[in-house]
Amino acid sequence: MTPIRRPEVTEGAEPQLLAAPLSGYLEHIKVQRRLAPRSLVIYADALLRLQNLAGAGGIALLTLRPHQARSLAAKLHGEMDLGPRSMALHLSVWRGLYRWLGAERLVELNPFDGLRAPKAAKPLPKALAVDDAVQLASFSGGNAADGAQALDARLEARDRCMVELLYGCGLRVSELVGLDLQAGPASLGWIDRQAAEATVLGKGSKRRSVPVGSAAMAALDQWLQVRGQLARSDEPALLVGQRGARLGAVQIRASLKARALAAGMPAHVHPHMLRHSFASHILQSSGDLRAVQELLGHAHITTTQIYTQLDFQHLAKIYDAAHPRAKKKQ
């Protein structure tokens, strides 16, 4: 099979050729998997890097052994300083190559089987500062997400209720979308106003009840006073759009983004950020990780423990600002 050129090269540099087995695999995935052009470029880069690393070490690709594969992977991490995610991508491409070579009876084994990249550190969830979260929840302003040109008190009441429930109850956006005006046989969730509790259907179809604070209850009451002016007569959803139907996740994100921009928030705000803020602020105040786990509906405490790192960052900032020995010299 005729070698093919790498799809992209640095401007002014000579394009490098992929050897026949590698170019054959690239052609195979192009035809069989119909990868996007950008994905083909990524695959070609990974294959070219394998070819160059093996060539520099005098290693024949068709007789590559597991210990040599480990050596090539070590060079990715050491000499080329690739991070865990980039390494995982390269190793995935290389495993796929040798899986195809095996199917073509060109190799006897896959030397990259069982070889894994180091685990990438999970990024910390982004949370708003307490003052910013309160400012967003209490903000009163126009709504541009539904195409309204002037202030619409009904949409304003709805969006304030939306923010208060996301931040005040730590709901997922899907749980907020599923809330109905009242409990029913087909309801995914509802709010018991007398008990001041929200019952929602979370991940794994697990129901949980969370308390609804006084600010959220006040926002809910304000919204319910005008909800009938928007909602269809047979619409069970708690939150509805201008057409009277259930508000969807995309609409909630758009409304929240518009509200955050109008309120002058320092960062892009999305529904899950308010859930993160809820968890972080509860933990900062109480230190009760188990309680936060129950409120969020996490099946495992390890999922909730990431918020302890946010809590530590909060404490570290307080220390840096307050302790005489931590203050930087002016």
Question: Residue 297 burial (CB < 10 Å; 0-12/13-18/19+)?
Answer: buried
Angle, vertex CA 179, rays to CA 281 and CA 217, nearest 5: 55
Residue with structure tokens 């170019």?
23
- Report yes or no: 189 and 170 within 8 Å, Cβ to Cβ: no
Residue 72: name the closest of 45, 94, 41 by CA: 94
User: Among residues 85, 193, 203, 206, which one is catalytic?
Assistant: 203
Q: Is 116 a catalytic residue?
A: no
- Report yes or no: 245 and 275 within 8 Å, Cβ to Cβ: no
User: Among residues 70, 77, 208, 298, which one is catalytic?
Assistant: 298
For residue 194, the tally of other CB atoms under 10 A from its CB is 6
Q: Is 272 a catalytic residue?
A: yes
Provide CB contacts within 8 A for 256, sequence distance 6+.
Answer: 159, 162, 163, 166, 269, 270, 271, 274
| Cα Dmax for the chain | 77
Q: How far apart are CA 208 and CA 221, in angstroms?
A: 22
User: Among residues 49, 154, 160, 172, which one is catalytic?
Assistant: 172
Q: Is 323 a catalytic residue?
A: no
User: Among residues 259, 275, 276, 281, which one is catalytic?
Assistant: 275
Across the beta sheet with 189-192, the strand order is 179-180, 189-192, 197-201, 207-211
Q: Write out the catalytic residue numbers.
A: 172, 203, 272, 275, 298, 307
